[in-house]
Amino acid sequence: MKLKCNLDEKVYQTLCEGFADGSYRAGQPLSPAELCERYGTSRTPIIQALKRMVAEGIIRVNGTGKYSIPEVSPAYLQEMFETREMFECACAQALCENISPEQLAELETLCEEVIAARRTDAQLFMQLDTRLHSLMVRYSGNATLDSFYQLLSKRLLVATYSFVRDPHHSKSTDEEHRRMVALIREGKGEQLRQLLAYHISAVRRRLAGED
């Protein structure tokens, strides 16, 4: 049973991350058979993952059992980013107070991986960027907030890449990420909160084509 649970979780995570490669668009049907072939797994874990994603609002299913990527409006995307900002800013001070030296070292390493990926691999960048921000929330020590944020981050990942055809990430995000880690290291929670608010708002504007 444990092996099956691990497989279901792995397939679920793989599907969520796979939607960030830009090949799926809003409103596009999702074929379990095609997903089985693409990811080299059997039908059962694919169906379990799709059902879980429906329950979490990541994808949708119609009355005939057909799965698809939800339509995403600019207003919905803005709401998602505003919610993300509230979550991350809320945990900035606790993150600076609670993070361990080992966790900080992990963020420092991951930050450099995010920066390297931005220059070479847009899909990998988005996955690593999502992980960096997710760990900052997790290491604040608020387990309830973390559980809600992990769901939000998956919904936002799928929504962003199904809505935006060619997401562009500015070089300025490199310095912003490095500055975030530095502020965590220095224990400057209020400055971190302000930087996170600016950073998330700037990313939303770029994705929406406002900058």
Note the pLDDT tens digit of each residue in 28-52: 888 999 989 888 888 998 999 899 9
Residue 88 above 70 pLDDT? yes
Q: CATH number of the domain at 2-68, please?
A: 1.10.10.10
Cα 125 to Cα 21, 48, 75, 170, 195, distances in angstroms: 11, 27, 25, 12, 20
Report, as an integer, the average pLDDT of 48-63. Answer: 89
Do domains 2-68 and 74-207 share one topology? The answer is no
Q: What is the pLDDT of residue 166?
A: 52
Task: Tell me the fold of 74-207.
Answer: Four Helix Bundle (Hemerythrin (Met), subunit A) (1.20.120)
The pLDDT of residue 1 is above 50: no
Segment holding 105, helix H or strand E:
helix 101-120
Q: Kindly write down the DSSP assignment for every residue of 60-87, as one continuous string.
A: EE-TTS-EEPPP--HHHHHHHHHHHHHH
Indicate the average pLDDT of the chain: 86
Residue 46, number of CB atoms within 10 A of its CB: 26
Domain segments of the chain: what residues?
2-68, 74-207
* Higher local confidence (pLDDT), 211 or 207: 207
pLDDT of residue 125: 86
Q: Edge-to-edge strands of the sheet including 67-68?
A: 29-30, 67-68, 60-61
